Amino acid sequence: MTHDVVIIGSGFGSLTAAALLARQGLRVCVLEQAKYPGGSSTSYKRKGYWFETGATTLVGLDADMPLRYLLDQIKVKLPVQKLEPPMQVHLPDGQTLTRYGDFDAWIREAERVFGPDNQRPFWEHCYRISKQVWRTSLQQQSFPFSNVKDLLLSWLRARPAQLKLIPGAFRTMEEVLGKYGLLQNKLFVDFVNEQLLITAQNSMEEVSELFGATALCYTLYSNYYVPGGLINLVKPVVTYITNAGSTIQYGQEVQYVKPQQQGYEVITQKETFRCTYIISGVPLNNTANIFQDARVQQRLQKYIMPSEKLNGAFSMGLVLKRKEPLPVVLHHQVHVPEGLPFIGSKSIFISFSHPADASRAPAGEFVASISTHVSHPELHQLADKEQLEEAILTALMQKGIIHRDQIISVQSATPGAWIFWTKRAFGAVGGYPQYKQIKPWQMKDARLDHKGAYVCGDTVYPGQGIVGVCLSGIIAANKLLQDHF
């Protein structure tokens, strides 16, 4: 059978593109190598418990944000619970910082912890930029440019407020902190760097003002918990796709893509699929390996990042006994200034299942997902995990976030396990880090061969996080439709 579009991978960027194309009446076939949809934005079941695969926080349902746009387009509603406050950060000096969603409450908290000097103007500046970045991203779905039509459409959609963002592509967050006299505030600098590492995969010296301001402000937007885990973010979109007459096939690991005179052949370990158009939703490193077109591979080389520029993750899943008091705040970041053994990571992120959510664990129990960054993941496969596990648990217990007598079971995964589960090159997760020499218009455009092949996911513009990956799928679908319909 020949499909209109084959999409490789069922990450949230792929599902976004599939839903928007199916809405236009195209016959889409999504090929997923695993047994669950969603990629790093989903959940998996182990021994009766549901753990998050990668992402644990849900942002993007506010006006002018990509996830809101997608759900409005396909008329899907999500079963979500709003979190307030979204998160707490446990700082090296022993203070606990609450990241309130209400702007004024957050400013009062930031001034309490970091001092009153320039906190309000700094955060007002970042929040203003972040709102304009999200608004512009949806207005400029032909960006980055890679043909004349892109330029024309972007010019027609240009607004004065968009042009004001351009200087922010040339400033780093380090320069922004310097502008507000905050570089001498070491506690604040450390906080900013660890927050940027979660959201932009790099530090203030490398992350531009555009990406950095947006990354720092994610807790100032509505944050949600999805009962049952993020698999229940994915399922309604999958249902929409299949109800629209398209398909998702599991256990279909793509080996090669062969361009044909008309369309493409997609070869998995089981069978061959034929299509007129194709979208790769897997990382650019993987895309280059499977796409049998010398020109595509050559074009991709300047975008592909080696392991030393990427981040992997060491992740843990805990099953815990319910113990009073139950966690009020579900997401915590713990700073570890001395660094963790073997990997040197200086922060840990832990997310709890909601105490009222009985679908992820039996009565009297709940689960937690833990992650920390692993730089240069190809070098850190970490065969001996016990010492690192113990260091992470000790740091969490010292902050009173968990207690030893609560722990029922522990499982952990290294970058090597990420390669096994997800097939992602090097076991890298979280998308491509932001680097100051790469401006937004220099990031990978959605087109692969300027014929019928496209790409989306967390390694292309803009990538990173559910909301960014959703935007990458919107852009890929828009450019396919713009080029051919």
Q: What is the mean pLDDT of residues 473-483?
A: 97
In this structure, is residue 364 part of a structural domain?
yes
How is residue 385 written in tokens? 């995990």
Q: What is the mean pLDDT of residues 24-33?
A: 98
Radius of gyration of the chain (CA): 22
Which of 184, 201, 223 marks a domain boundary? 223
Residues 168, 67: Cα–Cα separation, whole Å: 24
State the virtual CA torsion across 339, 341, 344, 345 in degrees, nearest 10. -70
Same domain, 420 and 314: yes
Q: What is the mean pLDDT of residues 199-218?
A: 95
Residues 313, 375: Cα–Cα separation, whole Å: 8
In this structure, is residue 460 part of a structural domain?
yes
200 contacts 215 by C-beta, under 8 angstroms: yes
Beta-strand pair 347-352/331-335:
antiparallel
Same domain, 43 and 109: no
Same domain, 148 and 240: no
Name the band, by pLDDT with cuts 50, 70 and 90, for residue 367: very high
Residues 25, 325: Cα–Cα separation, whole Å: 51
213 contacts 133 by C-beta, under 8 angstroms: yes
Domain around 271: 2-56+230-303+444-484
- Straight-line distance from the first to the last Cα atom of the chain, in angstroms, rounded to the nearest whole number: 22
Instruction: Kindly list the strands in the beta sheet with 58-59, ordered across the sheet, starting from the edge strand earlier in the chain.
Output: 58-59, 223-225, 81-83
Domain of 37, CATH number, reads 3.50.50.60
How is residue 214 written in tokens? 């947006």
416 contacts 382 by C-beta, under 8 angstroms: yes
How is residue 446 written in tokens? 């959605």
Same domain, 312 and 288: no
470 contacts 16 by C-beta, under 8 angstroms: yes
Query: Does position 1 have pLDDT exceeding 80, yes or no?
Result: no
Name the band, by pLDDT with cuts 50, 70 and 90, for residue 421: confident
227 contacts 357 by C-beta, under 8 angstroms: yes
In percent, the amount of the chain with pLDDT more than 90 equals 91
In percent, the amount of the chain with pLDDT more than 70 equals 100
Query: Does position 383 have pLDDT exceeding 80, yes or no?
Result: no
Q: What is the mean pLDDT of the chain?
A: 95
In this structure, is residue 453 part of a structural domain?
yes
The sign one gets for the Cα dihedral 378, 381, 387, 391 is positive
In this structure, is residue 452 part of a structural domain?
yes
Q: What is the mean pLDDT of residues 103-124?
A: 98
Which of 223, 246, 266 marks a domain boundary? 223
pLDDT tens, residue by residue, 73-84? 999 999 899 999
Q: What is the mean pLDDT of residues 230-239?
A: 97
How many other C-beta atoms are found inside a 10 Å radius of the C-beta of residue 271?
10
Residues 392, 372: Cα–Cα separation, whole Å: 9
101 contacts 332 by C-beta, under 8 angstroms: no
How is residue 212 written in tokens? 């950095």
Domain of 382, CATH number, reads 3.30.519
Same domain, 267 and 326: no
Residues 425, 286: Cα–Cα separation, whole Å: 6
Annotate 177-201 with DSSP letters as a single string.
HHHTT-TT-HHHHHHHHHHHHHHTS
In this structure, is residue 63 part of a structural domain?
no
Same domain, 162 and 114: yes
In this structure, is residue 326 part of a structural domain?
yes
In this structure, is residue 71 part of a structural domain?
no
Name the band, by pLDDT with cuts 50, 70 and 90, for residue 468: very high
Same domain, 174 and 274: no
Same domain, 104 and 148: yes
Same domain, 394 and 451: no
State the virtual CA torsion across 456, 458, 459, 462 in degrees, nearest 10. 80
Same domain, 208 and 118: yes
Annotate 125-160 with DSSP letters as a single string.
HHHHHHHHHHHHHHH-TTPSP-SHHHHHHHHHT--H
Question: For position 463, what pLDDT does the model report?
Answer: 78
pLDDT tens, residue by residue, 136-184? 999 999 999 999 999 999 999 999 999 999 999 999 999 999 999 999 9
Query: Does position 355 have pLDDT exceeding 90, yes or no?
Result: no
Q: What is the mean pLDDT of residues 419-433?
A: 91
Amino acid at 58: L
375 contacts 313 by C-beta, under 8 angstroms: no
Structurally, the chain folds into a number of domains equal to 3
How is residue 477 written in tokens? 């679908």
Question: For position 381, what pLDDT does the model report?
Answer: 84
| Phi-psi label, residue 451: left if phi above 0, alpha if psi -120 to 50, beta otherwise | alpha
Query: Which of 95, 379, 59, 82 minimizes the C-alpha distance to 216?
Result: 59
Query: Which of 193, 197, 221 minimizes the C-alpha distance to 135?
Result: 221
89 contacts 349 by C-beta, under 8 angstroms: no
In this structure, is residue 406 part of a structural domain?
yes
Q: Which residues on neighbouring strands pair with residue 259, listed in sequence order?
A: 264
pLDDT tens, residue by residue, 265-310? 999 999 999 999 999 999 999 999 999 999 999 999 999 999 999 9
Q: How far is CA 71 from CA 6, 65, 134, 286, in A?
A: 22, 10, 16, 29
Query: Does position 324 have pLDDT exceeding 90, yes or no?
Result: no
Residues 6+ apart with CB under 8 A from 155: none
State the virtual CA torsion across 302, 304, 308, 313 in degrees, nearest 10. 160
Q: What is the mean pLDDT of residues 312-317?
A: 95
Same domain, 311 and 398: yes
Could you say which DSSP state residue 444 is in?
P
Same domain, 289 and 334: no
